[in-house]
Amino acid sequence: MNPAPTRRAAALSAAIISAAAAFLLLCAPLPPALAQGQTESQPEYSVIVERDVMVPMTDGTRLAIDIYRPNGSGRFPALLERTPYDKGNSSEIRVGAHEYFAARGYVFMVQDTRGRFASEGEFYPFLDDGWLENRDGTDTVRWIAAQPWSNGEVGLLGGSYTGQTAYMIAPTQPPAMKAMFVRESAADLFDHWVYRGGAFEHAFITAWSTRTFGPNIVERTFRGDEREVARARLEAAIGNLERDFWHLPLSRYPLLRGSPGWKYYYDWLAHNHDGPYWWQQNVGLNHGRFQVPVYHLGGWYDIFLKGTLENFTGIQRSGGSALARGNQKLVIGPWVHGPTNVGKVEVGELRFPGADQVDYNAIRLRWFDRWLKGLDNGVMDEPPVLIYVMGDNRWRTEEAWPLARARVTPYYFHPGPSGSVASLNDGALSPEPPKPPPDAAHPASFAYDPNDPVLTLGGNTLFIVNGPTDHRAADVRSLTFTTAPLAQELEVTGPIKAVLHAMSSAVDTDWVVRLGDVYPDGRSILIADGILRARFRESLARSRLIEPDRVYTYEIDLWATSNVFKAGHRIRVSVHSSNFPRWDRNLNTATSPEHGARSETAINTVFLDPKRPSHILLPVIPR
């Protein structure tokens, strides 16, 4: 995964070579995936552009594609992005990939997906991109392979929605498709995109549907005076989005109702359980049909981190061919979502030195040079995993994910005080289990009022504040459990899970758990978080209300991280029942917030005794 050498990198390399041996001993070497490049395509072509070429699908619908071709004789490998966001302003166009790759001997193409911008048909997210009745991605790859400028080798690339369209082509395996590079997308649209732990990804999905999809839906759906009225309503809704996040029930959100372009939004709210509706487009259930090498890129604070990790591990383990199994690559940086954030050093409220050593286009060039041009550039000789270890602030290669040497260590909740925070309880956190009676701790309780939720302050989200941010304002309103200042650094790298033994006075509620790194100056920086809607404690496909005042065991998935808690820092776990508007508010009633409006205040209780030892499981890496 070597980036192309830059003038600065070349100058630095020359300086190191000429430096004294003592200086070399002080400089830790870069991982192979970040060191100076080997064989790679060079920028030797001017670029020919063809716009709005109409590509026929099997059902007769025509989809528009822009083509950026090397100005040279012969046939070339091709790269394809498929986007709903306007092919002239797609994620790849914004990072200059069209000119970068075309100059280096690739035909680069961006296509408007069905029902968007210059393409024909009706828009419904993802429905026509995969392996169902319409297979627009597969039809497009086959069309590309038949063109006179094509050598029959096609790669797929993109991220977020356009990464999802790439993942969804793979199970159909058109013969010309040889490799993929996907940034930040999902394995499971239900639990990695639209819902999480049974809670609706409200801020993301609602803002995405209005701000991102809305203008083009209005232009395609309405005519004349109706269009002007629709434009005005959309502009007003976008301007009042923070107010409208509070609207209940969600299924009667007024702006989007009545337009076929937003039908999916209400379908998604209606299907608030996992099941056949979602399974028909579940990439994770189709890992065994992947036939090609895939490079997966994500960020520790990306909204689709879980999908990136699961697609890598699933295809690496059970891909449908020897070219897929064992030929997956993974890189995770300290980033939030979006192509222009790859390589950023300033993320949220923190700075991550060296994060800019990953050149997004250059690492993809090496990947496609190897698989579409057959260049012997050493990319497959490098370890399959590259992660940025926060806290240490350095890149590190690994042989697998999760790390085999991780020791899953429970850190138990205790009554405290920790003396570190003005929270509801100021509890303590320790690897020591709770002591038996008569010293057994009393449980810790809090009131959760859906009309006064804890507000979102950052994390793995989109369209609202995100990334690593100070959560002291949320800790004040939460149960917290905090370690003493660490005598030595502690690395946590891998999947994280919290286990709560808890009860509620209501028939349903949410459990939100945050993991934080508390700095000596008091900042409580979010590392990871998760949510579980109590009615989905047994299965996301089947809901069961809880009995009030009965103790249940809840397992909350906080996804994953790689962070070194430095000496003098503290580890903090915070517990509440809301993180709004990132996730919709549980109303503490039998009716879901997708369909109800009446709410109740719940008294929620977390147990801390030896028989019910609430805790968090941290993948500790020996140092």
Residues annotated as catalytic are 160, 302, 337
SS3 of 400, please? coil
Strand 385-389 to 329-333 pairing: parallel
Tell me the residue type at 71: N
CB atoms within 10 A of CB 567: 12
N-term to C-term CA, the chain: 26
Of the candidates 427, 443, 525, 441, the one whose C-alpha atom is nearest the C-alpha of residue 482 is 427
What is the signed CA dihedral for 184, 189, 190, 194, rounded to 10 degrees? Answer: 60
Q: What's the angle, vertex CA 309, arms to CA 305 and CA 312, rounded to 5?
A: 140
Conformation bin of residue 60: beta by default, left when phi > 0, alpha when psi is -120 to 50: left
Which two three-digit tokens encode residue 438?
Answer: 């008569």
Question: Rounded to the nearest 5°, which phi and psi values hold at 371?
Answer: -95, -25
Of 367, 188, 403, 383, the residue nearest 293 (C-alpha): 367
Residues 111, 118: Cα–Cα separation, whole Å: 9
Q: Are 112 and 83 in contact (CB under 8 A)?
A: yes
Q: Which residues contact 29 (CB under 8 A, 6 or more apart)?
A: 35
Helices (H), 53-201: 91-94, 97-102, 136-145, 161-169, 189
